Amino acid sequence: MASPTLIFYDIATHPEHTPYAPNPSKTRYALNFTKAPYRTEWVDIPDIQGVRTALDCPAARKFLDGSDFHTLPVLQDTTPGAECVLGDSLDIACYLASRATAWGGAALFPADSTRYGLDYSSPHIDDPTGGPPLSAREAPTPDLADYARFNTHVDATFTAYVTLTSQNMTRAFPPASATRTKALFAQRAGVPSWDDLMGFLGDAEKRKGTFRAFETGISGLASLYAQKEGPFLEGQTPSYADLVVGGWLRMFSQFMEQDEWAEFCTWHGGVFGRLHEVLQRQYWEVR
């Protein structure tokens, strides 16, 4: 069989772990959803900059000091005569959406959508993240502006609680690059080591407080999901908006403590547990 024409660059993981990063997971869901012919190229975090530079793909994000933050996903189309490289998850979704019919896949941005829920406002949209600013990416086309906005607000909500995933994330670092990755994260935070970085997370009491706050922080998004029969934002028909939420749910499902994740899945009538389960079953495949 011919090699797939699309190459999806995702963050490399430990051999006993599955991919976890929220933005690449949005793309993996979108690739599977549209039945795109792709294969994955795994990239260690410290090598992302080199890979993007070699692909002549400018950074899609900035650090607080304005310097380039090189990220994944990247999608490369190697189709002769139609070669291109895309370096942002929303640009990639737009590209896949325009080809989905030819592949027999589903519509990422359904034409008959009421766009219900895309005006979601995150309670954390103005929070300082402490890390690189959220990417408030312009929509690739004007008709996707509300999806771009939804993406930014969902990113803001989950980013506010991402410390709940930090401690366990090292499980997923590939052994060969784990030391370099930890050093890179420490350097970005301006601390001597990964252990210093973990020290900022605080004790079990602080974690408990963050976890309780998460239930409230996620309630606005949950209430949008709860208003339809579900499991998707618009009810029975999924759209890219659900994959955006699903990308984050993957990260939290992997790295929160098991009892925390189990409880999270019961919050707000279980809307997120149900969404995660359906997306995993129908659209999660690693190839």
Ligand X SMILES: N[C@@H](CCC(=O)N[C@@H](CS)C(=O)NCC(=O)O)C(=O)O
Would you say 151 or 230 has its CB closer to ligand X?
Answer: 151
Q: How many Cβ atoms are within 10 Å of 194's Cβ, its own excluded?
A: 18
Stretch that binds ligand X, among 19-27, 76-84, 237-245, 266-274 (CB under 6 A): 19-27
Short-list 80, 60, 85, 82, CA closest to 9: 85
* Near ligand X by CB under 6 A: residue from 12, 34, 44, 88: 88
Identified binder of ligand X from the candidate list 6, 72, 97, 100, rule CB under 6 A = 72
- Is 13 or 23 the residue whose CB approaches ligand X more closely? 23
Hey, what are 23's tokens? 């933005």
Beta strand pairing call for 68-69 and 74-77: unpaired
| CA 281 to mean position of chain CA atoms | 18
Contact flag: residue 22 with ligand X (CB under 6 A): yes
Considering only 12, 31, 45, 160, the residue that binds ligand X (CB under 6 A) is 45
Bond prior to 24 in cis (omega within 30° of 0): no
Q: Let me know if 256 is exposed, middle or buried by CB neighbors in 10 A (0-12, 13-18, 19+).
A: buried
Determine the Cα angle at 276 with ends 33 and 198, to 5°: 115
Query: CB 60 → ligand X: shortest distance, Å?
Result: 5
Restricted to residues 238-257, the positions that interact with ligand X (CB under 6 A) are none
Which of 73, 33, 37 is CA-nearest to residue 232?
A: 33
Strands (E), 188-261: none
The yes or no reply on residue 10 touching ligand X (CB under 6 A) is no
Tokens found for residue 60: 């899609």
Provide, rounded to whole angstroms, the least separation between the CB of residue 165 and ligand X.
11
Quick note: the x/- pattern for ligand X over 131-160, rule CB under 6 A, is ----x-x-----------------------
To the nearest whole angstrom, how small is the minimum distance from the Cβ of residue 155 to ligand X? Answer: 8
Tracing tokens 């009491």 back to the chain, one arrives at 205
Decide: 131 and 190 in contact? Cβ < 8 Å: no
Q: Quick one: which of 61, 115, 180, 207 contacts ligand X (CB under 6 A)?
A: 61
One of 13, 23, 239, 254 touching ligand X (CB under 6 A): 23
Does the footprint of ligand X cover residue 48 (CB under 6 A)? yes
Site residues, ligand X (CB under 6 A)? 21-23, 45, 48, 60-61, 71-73, 88-90, 135, 137
